[in-house]
Amino acid sequence: MPNEALIVVDMQNDFCEGGALAVPGANGILPLVNRLIGRHDHVILTQDWHPAGHASFASAWADAVPFSTVKFPYGPQTLWPDHCVQGTSGADFHPGLEATKAQMIVRKGFHTGIDSYSAFRENDRMTRTGLDGYLKARGFTRLIICGLALDYCVAWTAIDGRQAGFDIAVVVEATAALDLEGSRRRMLTEMRQGGINLNATA
Ligand code: VGL
Ligand code: ZN
Protein backbone atom coordinates (compact mmCIF):
# COMPACT_ATOMS: atom_id res chain seq x y z
CA MET A 1 0.00 0.00 0.00
CA PRO A 2 1.46 3.33 -1.04
CA ASN A 3 0.32 5.20 2.07
CA GLU A 4 1.64 2.59 4.49
CA ALA A 5 5.12 2.37 6.06
CA LEU A 6 6.69 -0.31 8.25
CA ILE A 7 8.69 0.95 11.22
CA VAL A 8 11.16 -1.58 12.65
CA VAL A 9 12.20 -0.43 16.10
CA ASP A 10 15.71 -0.95 17.54
CA MET A 11 16.60 -4.42 16.16
CA GLN A 12 20.14 -3.93 17.44
CA ASN A 13 22.73 -6.32 18.88
CA ASP A 14 22.52 -4.89 22.40
CA PHE A 15 18.80 -5.68 22.58
CA CYS A 16 19.27 -9.21 21.21
CA GLU A 17 20.60 -12.40 22.78
CA GLY A 18 23.95 -11.78 24.49
CA GLY A 19 23.56 -8.00 24.25
CA ALA A 20 24.02 -5.46 27.02
CA LEU A 21 20.27 -4.91 27.43
CA ALA A 22 18.94 -8.14 25.95
CA VAL A 23 15.18 -8.35 25.55
CA PRO A 24 13.95 -11.90 26.29
CA GLY A 25 12.78 -13.52 23.06
CA ALA A 26 14.34 -10.90 20.80
CA ASN A 27 16.08 -13.34 18.47
CA GLY A 28 12.90 -15.36 18.05
CA ILE A 29 11.08 -12.47 16.37
CA LEU A 30 13.73 -11.95 13.67
CA PRO A 31 12.03 -14.22 11.09
CA LEU A 32 8.72 -12.42 11.61
CA VAL A 33 10.32 -9.00 11.37
CA ASN A 34 12.09 -10.03 8.16
CA ARG A 35 8.83 -11.34 6.75
CA LEU A 36 7.16 -7.99 7.45
CA ILE A 37 10.07 -6.21 5.75
CA GLY A 38 9.65 -8.48 2.73
CA ARG A 39 5.98 -7.59 2.47
CA HIS A 40 6.32 -3.82 2.76
CA ASP A 41 7.35 -1.35 0.07
CA HIS A 42 8.41 1.33 2.55
CA VAL A 43 10.62 0.34 5.46
CA ILE A 44 11.98 2.65 8.15
CA LEU A 45 14.40 1.49 10.84
CA THR A 46 14.99 3.14 14.18
CA GLN A 47 18.35 2.90 15.93
CA ASP A 48 19.00 3.64 19.61
CA TRP A 49 22.16 5.75 19.40
CA HIS A 50 23.63 6.97 22.68
CA PRO A 51 26.88 8.84 23.25
CA ALA A 52 29.21 7.21 25.82
CA GLY A 53 28.30 8.43 29.31
CA HIS A 54 24.64 9.01 28.38
CA ALA A 55 22.52 10.21 31.31
CA SER A 56 20.24 7.14 31.02
CA PHE A 57 23.16 4.84 31.84
CA ALA A 58 23.34 3.84 35.51
CA SER A 59 27.14 3.96 35.13
CA ALA A 60 26.94 7.72 34.63
CA TRP A 61 25.73 8.23 38.20
CA ALA A 62 27.33 7.56 41.59
CA ASP A 63 25.50 4.86 43.58
CA ALA A 64 23.00 4.05 40.85
CA VAL A 65 22.07 0.57 39.70
CA PRO A 66 20.58 -0.46 36.37
CA PHE A 67 16.78 -0.70 36.25
CA SER A 68 16.29 1.77 39.10
CA THR A 69 14.24 4.91 38.54
CA VAL A 70 15.56 8.39 39.24
CA LYS A 71 14.29 11.93 38.86
CA PHE A 72 15.46 13.76 35.76
CA PRO A 73 14.60 17.41 35.04
CA TYR A 74 11.83 16.12 32.76
CA GLY A 75 10.44 13.49 35.18
CA PRO A 76 11.12 9.91 36.25
CA GLN A 77 13.71 8.07 34.16
CA THR A 78 14.72 4.41 34.33
CA LEU A 79 18.47 3.87 34.38
CA TRP A 80 19.83 1.22 32.03
CA PRO A 81 23.03 -0.74 31.60
CA ASP A 82 25.32 0.95 29.04
CA HIS A 83 23.86 0.01 25.65
CA CYS A 84 23.79 1.05 21.99
CA VAL A 85 26.80 3.33 22.30
CA GLN A 86 27.41 5.18 19.03
CA GLY A 87 29.86 3.36 16.80
CA THR A 88 30.03 0.14 18.83
CA SER A 89 28.96 -3.28 17.59
CA GLY A 90 26.22 -3.30 20.23
CA ALA A 91 24.59 -0.40 18.40
CA ASP A 92 24.74 -2.17 15.02
CA PHE A 93 21.64 -3.79 13.62
CA HIS A 94 21.46 -7.53 14.24
CA PRO A 95 23.32 -9.21 11.36
CA GLY A 96 20.24 -11.34 10.64
CA LEU A 97 18.03 -8.29 10.07
CA GLU A 98 17.12 -7.64 6.43
CA ALA A 99 18.19 -4.01 6.74
CA THR A 100 19.20 -3.31 3.13
CA LYS A 101 15.75 -2.29 1.99
CA ALA A 102 15.35 0.46 4.59
CA GLN A 103 14.60 3.87 3.07
CA MET A 104 15.24 5.78 6.25
CA ILE A 105 17.09 5.20 9.53
CA VAL A 106 16.00 7.31 12.47
CA ARG A 107 18.58 7.61 15.22
CA LYS A 108 17.43 8.58 18.69
CA GLY A 109 18.83 9.08 22.18
CA PHE A 110 21.84 11.08 20.99
CA HIS A 111 21.31 14.04 23.33
CA THR A 112 23.47 13.25 26.39
CA GLY A 113 20.90 14.43 28.94
CA ILE A 114 17.69 13.13 27.35
CA ASP A 115 16.62 9.55 26.73
CA SER A 116 14.31 8.76 23.82
CA TYR A 117 12.04 5.74 23.77
CA SER A 118 9.79 7.19 21.09
CA ALA A 119 11.09 7.66 17.56
CA PHE A 120 8.97 10.85 17.38
CA ARG A 121 9.64 12.70 20.63
CA GLU A 122 12.36 12.36 23.27
CA ASN A 123 11.60 11.59 26.91
CA ASP A 124 11.38 15.28 27.82
CA ARG A 125 8.25 15.05 25.59
CA MET A 126 9.35 18.27 23.85
CA THR A 127 12.37 17.55 21.68
CA ARG A 128 11.25 16.20 18.32
CA THR A 129 13.20 13.81 16.12
CA GLY A 130 11.71 15.02 12.83
CA LEU A 131 10.14 11.65 11.96
CA ASP A 132 6.64 13.13 11.97
CA GLY A 133 7.57 15.67 9.31
CA TYR A 134 9.37 13.06 7.22
CA LEU A 135 6.43 10.65 7.23
CA LYS A 136 3.91 13.38 6.42
CA ALA A 137 6.08 14.80 3.66
CA ARG A 138 6.12 11.36 2.09
CA GLY A 139 2.35 11.00 2.34
CA PHE A 140 2.21 8.05 4.73
CA THR A 141 -0.98 7.83 6.78
CA ARG A 142 -0.72 4.32 8.21
CA LEU A 143 2.19 2.84 10.19
CA ILE A 144 2.85 -0.81 10.98
CA ILE A 145 5.24 -1.15 13.92
CA CYS A 146 7.35 -4.08 15.16
CA GLY A 147 10.67 -4.62 16.97
CA LEU A 148 12.12 -3.98 20.44
CA ALA A 149 11.19 -3.41 23.13
CA LEU A 150 7.40 -3.71 23.04
CA ASP A 151 6.90 -1.97 26.39
CA TYR A 152 9.41 0.85 25.80
CA CYS A 153 10.44 2.02 22.36
CA VAL A 154 7.71 0.24 20.39
CA ALA A 155 4.92 1.41 22.70
CA TRP A 156 6.09 5.01 22.89
CA THR A 157 6.62 5.20 19.16
CA ALA A 158 3.12 3.82 18.57
CA ILE A 159 1.48 6.18 21.07
CA ASP A 160 3.25 9.25 19.72
CA GLY A 161 2.51 8.19 16.15
CA ARG A 162 -1.17 7.97 16.98
CA GLN A 163 -1.03 11.36 18.65
CA ALA A 164 0.57 12.75 15.49
CA GLY A 165 -2.49 11.54 13.57
CA PHE A 166 -1.30 8.28 12.00
CA ASP A 167 -3.33 5.11 11.86
CA ILE A 168 -1.20 2.63 13.85
CA ALA A 169 -0.98 -1.15 14.02
CA VAL A 170 1.55 -2.90 16.27
CA VAL A 171 2.38 -6.46 15.25
CA VAL A 172 2.69 -7.82 18.78
CA GLU A 173 3.99 -11.24 17.69
CA ALA A 174 6.89 -9.45 15.96
CA THR A 175 7.90 -7.68 19.19
CA ALA A 176 9.43 -8.76 22.50
CA ALA A 177 9.14 -7.03 25.87
CA LEU A 178 11.52 -6.21 28.71
CA ASP A 179 8.59 -6.51 31.13
CA LEU A 180 9.93 -4.56 34.10
CA GLU A 181 7.39 -4.49 36.93
CA GLY A 182 4.43 -5.27 34.74
CA SER A 183 5.38 -2.83 32.00
CA ARG A 184 4.30 -5.20 29.20
CA ARG A 185 0.72 -5.43 30.40
CA ARG A 186 0.56 -1.75 31.29
CA MET A 187 1.78 -0.55 27.91
CA LEU A 188 -0.46 -2.98 25.99
CA THR A 189 -3.42 -1.48 27.85
CA GLU A 190 -2.24 2.08 27.15
CA MET A 191 -1.85 1.31 23.46
CA ARG A 192 -5.26 -0.35 23.21
CA GLN A 193 -6.93 2.56 24.99
CA GLY A 194 -5.08 4.96 22.70
CA GLY A 195 -6.72 3.47 19.63
CA ILE A 196 -3.78 1.40 18.41
CA ASN A 197 -4.60 -1.82 16.58
CA LEU A 198 -2.86 -4.73 18.33
CA ASN A 199 -4.39 -7.50 16.25
CA ALA A 200 -2.21 -7.34 13.15
CA THR A 201 -0.15 -10.46 12.31
CA ALA A 202 3.15 -10.91 10.53
C1 VGL B 1 15.01 0.84 24.73
C2 VGL B 1 15.49 1.05 26.96
C3 VGL B 1 16.53 1.91 26.66
C4 VGL B 1 14.16 0.20 23.67
C5 VGL B 1 16.03 1.70 24.42
O6 VGL B 1 14.60 0.10 22.52
O7 VGL B 1 13.04 -0.23 24.00
N8 VGL B 1 14.75 0.52 26.00
N9 VGL B 1 16.79 2.23 25.40
ZN1 ZN C 1 18.50 3.36 24.97
Strand partners, 58: none
* pLDDT computed for residue 1 by the predictor: 77
Q: Would residue 194 be called left, alpha or beta, if left means φ above 0 and alpha means ψ between -120 and 50 degrees? A: alpha
* H helix runs in the chain, sequence order: 30-39, 131-137, 155-163, 183-193
Cβ neighbours of residue 55 under 8 Å, at least 6 residues apart?
72, 77, 112, 113, 114, 115
- The answer, yes or no, to whether any atom of ligand 1 lies below 6 A from the CB of 151, is no
Point out the ligand 1 atom lying closest to the alpha carbon of residue 153. 7
Among the bound ligands, the one closest to the CA of 117: 1
DSSP 121: B
Largest CA distance in the chain: 51
Assess whether the previous peptide bond of 149 is cis (omega < 30° from 0).
Answer: yes
pLDDT attached to residue 82: 98
In which residue ranges of the chain is pLDDT below 50?
Answer: none
Ligand 1 center–CA 69 separation, angstroms: 14
Say which ligand is closest to the CA of 158. 1
* pLDDT at site 2: 87
Q: Which pLDDT score is estimated for 119?
A: 98
Return the residue whose CA atom lies nearest to atom 1 of ligand 1.
153
Closest atom, ligand 1, to C-alpha of 10: 6
Q: Is the CB of 80 under 6 A from ligand 1?
A: yes
The CATH architecture to which 4-178 belongs is 3-Layer(aba) Sandwich (3.40)
Cβ–ligand 1 distance for 48 under 6 Å, the answer: yes
In this prediction, residue 132 carries a pLDDT of 98
Ligand 2 center from residue 164 Cα (angstroms): 22
Of 71, 164, 150, give the one whose Cα is nearest residue 117: 150
Instruction: Give residue-wise pLDDT tens across range 5-39.
Output: 999 999 999 999 999 999 999 999 999 999 999 99
pTM of the model: 0.98
Please report the atom of ligand 1 found closest to the CA of residue 147.
6
Could you tell me the distance, in angstroms and rounded to a whole number, from the CA of residue 52 to the centre of ligand 1?
15
Ligand 1 centroid distance, CA of 149 (Å)? 6
CA dist 90 and 73 (Å) reads: 28
In the chain, what are the domain boundaries?
4-178
Judging by DSSP bridges, how do beta strands 75-78 and 69-72 pair with one another?
A: antiparallel
